[in-house]
Every structure is written in structure tokens, then in C-alpha cells.
A and B are shown apart, each in its own frame.
Chain A
Amino acid sequence: MSQKDSSEMLNFLSISSTDPLFADIPQTSRINDLRIERGIEEYDLLRKAESISKKNAAARCVNFLGSGAYRRIIPSVVDTITSMGEFQTAYTPYQPEISQGMLQVLFEYQSIISDLTSMDMTNSSMYDGPTALGEAARMAYRCSQGDELLIPSITYKNRLSVLKNYLAGLPVKIRTYNIDPVTGMIDLQDIESKISEKTFGIVAENPNSLGIMDSNVLKLSGMKKSALLIVYYDPISLGAIKPPGDYGADIAVGEGQQLGIHLNLGGPYVGLFSFSKEYLRKSPGRIIGETSDVNGNRAFVMTVQTREQHIRREKAMSNICSNQALMSLAALSYLSTVGPSGLRTVASKTMKNAKSLIDAFSRKRTGTFEFKHNPFSDVMLKIPIEEETLKTKLHDSCIAGGLSADRLLTYNDKQHYFFSVSEATTEADIEYLVDSIGGN
């Protein structure tokens, strides 16, 4: 604030400093110093940040990490669009007349994700994939009866932990159904035996946490009884495989990071959240609707807000307020830019690269892929090497990857490791990886 502004305002208030404005803070609660360093010039800050960033060795390495977040090709136009200050520095569009840009963006996002998943409706965003799953489970509980949620016996530990936190306030139990260790897919007999009138929701993953494209998920809607079928999907895979809406999902959720969002050490990402229209009133999150203005022109506005915390308070469907709107814009502009044939290409290359990776490991007898069915982008291999030894080899070769299955998953076999591919992975990358680990 300028000296002039400050003294004019102080004069107007008939005070000589801002101290009287803080006089209502009890003496014993006051502090005089923030106990952090003093401020620095912008140039020094940029240099400091640049120098710290250099300590992230992995960012420039060959990447084989995936398992929920992927290094994909991001069209430059996506970064340009998400950097536009008019989008980036706006708030939630509470005043629709002056916020039509963001409102149309979110409406288009809802539309494009509904079309991609073949679902009736999509909200304008959740925080990330795992929290979207947590909200989906809560919604299923509101929409059905019973107190049991069925989930796969093998899933990501972080996803499960988030789910448990989201369910902790409800009187529900989590039960698991088996994933067949031979096919890598849902054990249909087992799941059928566990679905009862008490089941309010069934969580199925496709591709699943073992990375496998699971065609058994397509058969669940016929056996679900009164439960809601919640499908956790990979949005890129929908360029190739059947979408959740085509096989009877009631709620479809997923991680939207892959749709044009940088890895950023885990966030900000976007939780994709779609559902059947009959459940709209029980759904969480902001929703944008089309309407018209006083002159009859098309306009957009936040709607069905009576589900939300700022209206319903403790009776709201969710506490979510700030969401991930800017990341919804990234997803929308990504899908618009790559288009149908582009998304097909990305999905095709990804699964072909996964196959190439399996072949390369097998050719050089470095590791074995143990399932009968095919992975999409995450490939779990048995590699008979201790974790520490493998890590050293990978670090020495500047390769990021090799997540140990027993750390990542609720799965206990040692010496199983994940290497994930995307459309950006090259044959040379794969060869380099296999050579760096070496034969056995």
C-alpha cells in the first residue's frame, strides 16, 4: 500500500497507526513476530526456486511410474488455456451474468465427460479420483438400502485409505470380493456369493489395480440386486474400451489427471464424477445448468444447489465447496484438442506399449507377466530381485519406476513390481529399461 493511501485512510479514521484496529485482540493472545524469515525480492525468489527444483532428479529421467497418475502428452493449447488469467483468477461463478465463460466451460465439461462415460450426468468436479470414490460410496449409501460396500480384494492402499475416511461417519462395513490370480479379473462366482440385500454398493475397477482390462466388470449389473454399481475407470482407456454407462454403472468415477493435467507430485488433479439421472438429488458437488437470461439468450448458472453445504449446511450431500474447476477446464480442452481419433490413438498406443514391455521383459528373461489377460498401462511383473537392488539399478540409470506391488496394493507377494507406460513411451525407453535391470 502506498504511503499516501495509508495516511489518507488513517486520517479519515482519525488514527495515527493501524494499532487501534487490532486493539480488540487480548494482550495475552498477541504476537509481535511471525518467526519466519523476512521477505525477499522477486528475482531472488525465482533463483531460489530454480535451484531447489534442480534437486528433483526424477523429473528428467525416463519414466515408468503410473498407477493412478501418468506422464502423458499434453497439447500446448491446454497450458495456454488454463493459464488465461480470466479463468485462473476467478472464483466460483456465484454471479452468473459476469461469469458466463467459466459457467459454459463447466457445462461443456459436464457434457463431454457424460458423453465419454456414456452416463446421464456429471458434476463440475471433485478433488481427485480417490475422493470421488469416497463420495460415490457415500452417495450409494444414500440411494440404496443395506450397510455393506463390496470392493475388490486387491486395490491401491491410498485409494482404500481415503475411502475408509470418507465412510467413517456412516454405519457401514466394507467387504471384499476376490480378484482371480490367474486371469487378473473379478472372480464372478465369489462376487455373486457376496452380493445380498445388505449390499448398498459394489465398487469395480476397470482397468483394475493390477492394471488389467477386466471384461468381467461388464457382467456385474445383472447380479447387483438393490446395490448401486460404482465403476472406477481410467478416462484414457475409454478411447478404446466400453464406457461404464454401457454396462450398467450407476455411478462412474475416475482420476482425471491424465486429461491434460501435469503430474505436479499428485495435485491439483480432478475427480471425475458421473451418475444416473434418478440419483441427481442425492449427488454431491456443484452442477451447472443451461437456462436463459431476461432477453431470451442462452445462459448458464449453478443449479440444484439445495444439495449443497452453503444452503443445506449439516443436511448437505457433501461438504465440498472449493473444487477443481480449473482442472475441469484442462480436461475439457484436452479432450477437445485430441478429439475422437486422437483419444483412440492415445489409448491404442498405451496398450500396445504395455504389450511391448511385457514382450521385452520376457524376451530377455528379466521379468514375467503372470496374468492371462492384458493390461492397459500398468504392468505388474515378477522380477526375482530384492527391492533395494532393483531401486539402485534404476536410480543409477535415471529411471523412475518399479513400484513394489506390496507397497502400492493390498497384495502381499514380494518381488512384484509395476512398470507403467503411456503413449509417450518409446521402444527405446523400453529397451533401455530392460537392459538397465539386466537378465537373470
Chain B
Amino acid sequence: MGFRQARYDEPFIRDYHSGSTFFSRHEDLPDWLPKELRRETVPIPDVSEYDVIKHFTRLSQMNFSVDTGLYPLGSCTMKFNPKYADKIAAIPEFSELHPQTDEPMMQGSLQIMYELQEMLKAISHMDEVSLQPLAGAQGEFTGIRIIKKFFENAGKADVRDEILIPDSAHGTNPASAAMGGFKTVEIPSNENGTVDVDALKAAISERTAAFMITNPNTLGIFEGRIEEIARIIHDAGAFLYYDGANFNAILGKTAPGKMGFDITHFNLHKTFATPHGGGGPGAGPVGVRGELKEYLPSPIVRLRDGNYVLDYSMKHSIGKIAGFYGNFGVLLRAWAYIKRNGSDGLKEVSESAVLNTNYLTKRIAGTYEVPNGGVKKHEVAVSSEKTGRRALDIAKYLLDMGFHSPTIYFPLTVHEALMIEVTESASKAEIDAYVDAMINAASEPIENLKQMPKNTSVGRVDEVKAARDLKLKW
């Protein structure tokens, strides 16, 4: 399709020496500042505003994004980020509000938070939601802290020291569990790509504190035995944790609370379309059921006598997991997305995302191996092994064609994995073009693939050199 990314030999910002033009009047330090504290020079770049704008505009043109083209990174849900959400987030009454403002003077922002809490509760069938966690992984860590504190209160923290995690799980799951002081036990998948329930039964014991899973899983397969799994976990006195990374598949179809989960985190930057910022910010609210309500981070926003108030009264709250109330700018965008789409629109989101994925899967299945067969949900993991081509090389070919690549080499359970998630935002024409590119890649001579990409800002990047020479600043 004739893709060409911009290519500038853009110097570092500090290599411009045009001199700052921002302040017209300068002030120096007061005489009374003690000498031992005083800094003599401030070694940062000295650049005019015009050079600053040029520099970052050029860099932006060397960056692929959702606004540029299809970005089918599996498990990242790179859907269109609607612009009304940015417009709302820029309203000064929202953006200029200090987090320590007295409640009566920030009723608007509290209302947004309250409504978002309520909507997330409804969507997930959880009893209470905290908006505080700043990303999905922090939501997981919050859940882990809640579980830990629950068992501490029950006098069982020393015994309940294991978290079970499927082998197909996101890396954050075991990392969050370990950060919270738990041992992790890996549960293998069966030949269908789902949790091996017999292995789960064998692994579970009085030491089990929780089982963390995502459903559908990272292969895009729905865990059909989820209710049985929930019973097994609950009978053992443990909790079932829902990793919400794949929520985009199930809006209006099922809900974590309905399936038997006790704790859920949401990735607002995935399912609810907030922009991902080149790596962040995200937001990872956490919902819980039943007695775990008393353990959530404080405060929770409540509506009392027509006023929105911050409630710090939860008896066993783990306290604060972030400096303030969460990434409000992200929460506000998610609020806007949910309001705009509503119950009807969100259900369509999942239906379209799943339809797109199954269409893509069937088209691609003749060329790439699709492990585990059957219906997919929001994403599919295929293997390039039988094409004789490495997933990495396929990925670089796709970049040259003007697409972002899928997530590669994940999940770990699939060899030469390419995990594809086109989301509901892709049109059929775009999916067709993408599938055509993937099919062409599979017959492209390997030596050609190795030369790719050529149409991007730089050619294939030497990662080994980066790790060996370690140059981490200018």
C-alpha cells in the first residue's frame, strides 16, 4: 500500500542552542538562600519554543499510532480513542482541579467518579469499585493486597501463601502476586488451550489464597468450565481473581460477578478506549464482592443527601495505593466513552470485536496454524511455525506494509506466536488488507523478510548492541 514513515536525522533536543524564549523576564535566587543549598548551574537544554515544536513534531511523525493505522497488538485492545473524550478531559474545570480540594468545591469531579464507580459495578456485577489503581498491574497488586489483608485478619496469612496462575497468563499476574509476598504456582493449560481443571484440583490446597485468571484467556478462548472452577476455588476457601485485560470480549454477554469471580480489575485504557500514551497512562480500577468491600483502597465516592462525599470509613481498607484518587484524566475519558456508548453500544462493541476476530481467524487459518480450534473471542493467537518463518520476521514485514505487528512470542504456550486483536474499530476492508499482508508474508522469501523493514524510520534495530553497550542517556 506504499507505506513510508517519516525519517529525519533528528538531533537531541539539547543539541539545539537557540535559547529559551518562554519567559520574558528572569529572576535570580534570593540572597537569603543558604549557600550550601544553592545550585550554581541548571544543566538542561536551552531552546526556543519554535525549535521545541519542530523537534517534537518530527519525532511524532516517526511514531506509529492508532491514529496512523491498524494496531492489532493482542491483549492490548488498541481501539480507536474517541476525540470527544479528549475534549471533555481538557475542560479547565476538570483539568485544573487540585486533588486536595474540599469536597463541596469539587462536586463535578466527584459526580464523574461516582457515576463511573456505579457503571463499572453494573458492567462487572461487582458490589463495590475503587478507581484508585493507576494501571492494570496496579489493580492486580491492589487485589493481591486485599487478599493478603483478608487472610491476615483471619489469622491465616502464614498458611494461605500461594497464588495459582495459568501458564498462559500475562506476566504481570505472577509479578503482582510475588510483589505482595505470595508464592506463585503455575497451572498448565490442556490441549484445548484452557485451564487444565484436573491439574488445578491437584494444585489447590489449604495454602491457596487465590486463582488469578482472565476470561477469555490470552488465546482468545472462553474458559467454558468457569463456574466449576469458581466452585473448586470457593470450596477451598480461596478467592477467584479476574484479570480484566480481555473484558472487550464480554460486554453485555457475561460479567465477572456472574461467573463467580470475587475480585476484578478493569483496564480502562483497553476496554474503555482511553488513549495509551505511548506506554501510559492507564487506569486499573478494582471491583470486589461481598465482605471484601471493606478492604478496598480509600476513599470511595458516595452520594449522600444529594451531595457527593469521600468515604474513608471502610473498616479494613488497605489504605492508599496511589498518591490521590487515581488517574482522573483517564477515568473521565472512560466515563465519557461509557456514557456515549451506553448499554446498547457496549454490547455492540463486543459483538463486533468478536465477529472481526472470527472472520480474521477463518481467513488466516489456511496459512497459519490456529492452535486449539473453535470459536475465538476478542483475539486469536496463531503460530507461524509451519510457514517456516519466524514470528519476528513476519512482524517486520507487516511494519513495512504500514501495519503495526501483532504481539509476538506471547502467550508462551504457543510456538512462534502472533497474537492478533483487531478490535471492533477495524473495518472489513482493513482486516482484509491486513490478512492479505500476513498471507503474503508467509510466502515471502526468508532472505527478503530478514531485510525488512525498509519503509520505517529506521531499519532493523540492534537490540543486542543496546543491551551490551548500555547507553541510557545522551
Cβ A31 vs Cβ B276 within 8 A? no
Per the bound structure, the CA–CA distance linking A117 and B336 in Å amounts to: 38
Q: Is B356 an interface residue (CB 8 A)?
A: yes
Q: Does A215 sit at the interface, judged by CB under 8 A? A: yes
List the A side residues contacting B352 at CB < 8 Å: 1, 6
Q: Please, which residues of chain B bring their CB within 8 A of the CB of A318?
A: 175, 179
A433 to B93, CA, bound (A): 21
User: For the complex, what is the distance from the CA of A107 to the CA of B269, rounded to whole Å?
Assistant: 24
CB distance B93 to A60 under 8 Å?
yes
In the complex, which of the residues B95, B111, B177 contacts A263, with contact meaning CB atoms closer than 8 Å?
B95
Pairwise interchain contact A58-B98, C-beta atoms closer than 8 A: yes
Shortest Cβ distance from A163 into B: residue: B320
Q: Can you list the 7 inter-chain pairs with the closest CB atoms, starting with the nearest?
A: A266-B324, A339-B20, A326-B277, A169-B181, A101-B63, A39-B342, A325-B279
B8 to chain A, nearest CB (A): 9
Chain A residue at minimum C-beta to C-beta distance from B92? A59
Kindly provide the distance from the CB of B359 to the nearest chain A CB, expressed in whole angstroms.
4
| Closest chain B residue to A70, Cβ basis | B98
Whether A87 contacts B92 by the Cβ 8 Å rule is: no
Contact B32 A374 (CB under 8 A): yes
Interface flag for B154 (CB, 8 Å): no
| A102-129 vs B, Cβ < 8 Å mask (1 yes, 0 no) | 1011111011101110000110110111
CA distance A115 to B341 in the complex (A): 46
Q: How far is A352 from B29 in the complex, measured between Cα atoms in Å?
A: 8
Q: Which residues of A contact B260 (CB under 8 A)?
A: 29
Q: Cβ of B97 and Cβ of A264 under 8 Å apart?
A: yes
Task: Give the interface segment out of A146-154, A223-231, A282-290.
Answer: A282-290
Interface size of A by CB at 8 A reads 189
B310 CB to nearest A CB, Å: 11
List A contacts of B410 (CB < 8 A): 310
What is the number of residues of chain B that contact chain A, defined by CB distance less than 8 Å?
192
A168 and B81 contact, Cβ closer than 8 Å, known pairs A127-B135, A323-B280, A348-B30: no
What is the bound-complex CA distance between A263 and B250, given in angstroms?
A: 34
Q: Chain B 312-349, CB within 8 Å of chain A: the 1/0 string?
A: 00000011111111111110000010111111111110
B86: Cβ under 8 A from any A Cβ: yes
Q: Is B372 among interface residues, defined by CB-CB distance under 8 A?
A: no
Query: A339–B16 Cα gap in the complex (Å)?
Result: 12
Question: CB-CB < 8 A to B62: which residues of A?
Answer: 100-101, 104
Residue of chain B at shortest CB distance from A305: B467
Q: Which residue of A lies closest to B284 (CB)?
A: A322
With CB as the reference atom, state the residue of chain B lying closest to A304.
B467
Contact A31 B461 (CB under 8 A): no
Which B residues lie within 8 Å of A102 (CB)?
59, 63, 278-279
B472 within 8 A of A: yes
A-B contact pairs, 9 of them (CB 8 A): A29-B259, A57-B104, A87-B65, A87-B277, A97-B453, A108-B14, A264-B329, A309-B171, A316-B178
Known: A55-B111, A294-B459. A169 touches B178 (CB 8 A): yes
B153 at the interface (CB under 8 A from A): no
A332 interface contact, C-beta 8 A: yes
Interface hit among A10-18, A196-204, A360-368: A10-18
Given A46-B87, A131-B322, A325-B280: A88 in contact with B95 (beta carbons within 8 A): no
Q: Is the CB of B104 within 8 A of A395?
A: yes
Evaluate whether A309 and B459 lie within 8 angstroms (CB atoms) in the complex, with A110-B473, A169-B178, A336-B45 already known: no
- Say yes or no for A337: interface residue by CB 8 A criterion: yes
Provide the bound-state CA to CA distance between A165 and B327, in Å. Answer: 18
CB contact list, A263-312 vs B, under 8 A: 263-269, 280, 286-295, 297, 299-301, 303-304, 308-312
Select from chain B the residue with minimum beta-carbon distance to A335: B44
Q: Considering the complex, which residues of chain A in the window 51-105 have a beta carbon less than 8 Å from any beta carbon of chain B? A: 52-61, 63, 65, 67-69, 71, 75, 77, 80-81, 83-102, 104-105
The reply to whether the CB of A143 lies closer than 8 angstroms to some CB of chain B is no
In the bound assembly, the distance between CA atoms of A414 and B59 in angstroms comes to: 52
Q: Is A205's beta carbon under 8 Å from chain B?
A: no
Please tell me if the beta carbons of B64 and A301 are within 8 angstroms of each other in the complex: no
Q: Is A320 interfacial (CB-CB < 8 Å)?
A: yes
Q: Which residue of chain A lies nearest to B429 when distances are taken between CB atoms in the complex?
A: A5
A350 vs B303: C-alpha distance in the bound complex, in angstroms? 38
Known pairs A97-B461, A265-B106, A301-B463; A59 contacts B323 (CB<8 A):
no
One of A9, A128, A291 near B323 (C-beta < 8 A): A128
- Assuming A95-B395, A324-B281, is B12 touching A265 (CB within 8 A)? no
- Whether B336 contacts A98 by the Cβ 8 Å rule is no
B112 proximal to A (CB < 8 A): yes
A428 to chain B, nearest CB (A): 18
